[in-house]
Amino acid sequence: MSTDVHGGPGRRAARHAHRPKSRRPLWIWLTPVVAAAVFAGFGCVRVVFPRTSPVSSSVDVVIPRPVGTVPPGPLTAVAALLGSLAPVPGQTPAAPAARPTHPAEHTEAPSAPPPPPARPPSAAPATASSNPFAGARFYVDPDSDAMAAVARLRNSAPADAAALSRIANTSHADWFGGDTANPDAVRARVAGRVDEIRATGALPVLVAYAIPNRDCGSYSAGGAGSPDAYRAWIAAFAAGIGRGPAAVILEPDAISQTDCLSAADRQTRYSLLGNAVDVLAHVGAAVYLDAGNATWHSAADTAARLRAAGVDRARGFALNVSNFDETPDERAYAAAVSAALGGTARAVIDTSRNGLGPAASNAWCNPPGRALGAAPTGNTGDPVVDAYLWIKVPGESDGTCNGGPGAGQWWLDYALGLAARATG
């Protein structure tokens, strides 16, 4: 490192005026001292001293600095004296390490997920100008169950293949709810999926679904085994997203189903959701807390639950996830909930299976006769609704009801019915 040491012009002129012209230059008598100091185990620092010659403005001098521990002695004292001639350079903040959109560490999970920050900076309040879906590209999974079914049926049942292509060629969200005892695994899976989606220039749309006491023990029962396990899981989920655009639907049914919990567990759930909002917003994700649907709780009740879960630090809330309510009803409900929250929260609506509205008596578990709804778009024409999305994957079962397989499993016959009855 080179450090310039210059006196002001007046000081330099004064020294030159009082120095005999026959005096040897400074570098001549310093040379043997420097050489001896180097042999004694000192490092060197290049320093520029002023020259008296009008031809040149400075002279380079090497100043010895100790390297490691050196026994005290005459050379040590001399080196210390000489070293004091070099000023300490100003502290320059190190440039922050660049973090790529797709961190290299995604390819291999760390031994432990990063702990969630105690209180990361709050997400900016939702505004109409920050809709993450505005102009976004939606990802179509080339390896989906629907795409595989189309390939299988193309020759043997071309009409069915054509109907199923409505599902296969449309974007849907990616759900993550397993690996609750292995955060490294969920981090790696989320990272792999996010990298794959971002590589196409599309916006990842993810569903985090691992809250303790999930689904009140019903068809989708499970989730993390403890609050600490969930905190570790959501931190790993966020680490998998990394820095970059993403939208997260946070914990379907979690606030709407708090009535099945004890008072203590209810408070714990809201605390976990608030922490999840902060952790996800900290990596830049647009977070939408699930808020049920228009037929479940009143707008005022839902707004109160969302507040308790930290919606003020999220982008907004999600409606009609895995349900069948008609879009106009959900839009009106979104407006009422947002107004109850002060008008800043935005919504997304799941339109994956609401093409014919709800079944009789609002049956929700694999009701027959339903149809695909409007395709995903960020152009809703509604200032409160950021996007229509296919959050539920059409064709995946709601559970072992009405002849369906386990929750989340692909059900070809149901998928064919949804696609065949679609009118869009």
Alpha-carbon distances, residue 317 vs 67, 286, 349, 387 (angstroms)? 60, 10, 9, 11
Q: What is the per-residue DSSP string for 231-255? A: HHHHHHHHHHH-SS--EEEE-TTTT
Please tell me what DSSP assigns to residue 385.
E
Between CA 183 and CA 295 the distance in angstroms is 35
Between CA 174 and CA 45 the distance in angstroms is 57
Residue type, 163: A
Q: Which residues are catalytic?
A: 215, 253, 398
Between CA 399 and CA 61 the distance in angstroms is 80
How many other β-carbons are positioned within 10 Å of the β-carbon of residue 215?
19
123 φ/ψ angles, rounded to the nearest 5 degrees: -70, 150
SS3 (DSSP) at 154: helix
CB neighbour list of residue 405: distance below 8 Å, 6 or more residues apart:
397, 411
**Residues 312, 314, 319, CA angle at the centre, nearest 5°?**
105
SS3 (DSSP) at 357: coil
CB neighbour list of residue 16: distance below 8 Å, 6 or more residues apart:
52
User: β-strands 205-208, 174-176: how paired?
Assistant: parallel
Give the length of the chain.
424
- Residue 76 buriedness (CB in 10 A; 0-12 / 13-18 / 19+): middle
How many other β-carbons are positioned within 10 Å of the β-carbon of residue 10?
8
Sheet containing 286-290, strands listed edge to edge, beginning at the edge strand earlier in sequence: 174-176, 205-208, 247-250, 286-290, 316-319, 346-350, 385-389
User: β-strands 286-290, 205-208: how paired?
Assistant: unpaired
Partnered with residue 289 across adjacent β-strands are 250, 317
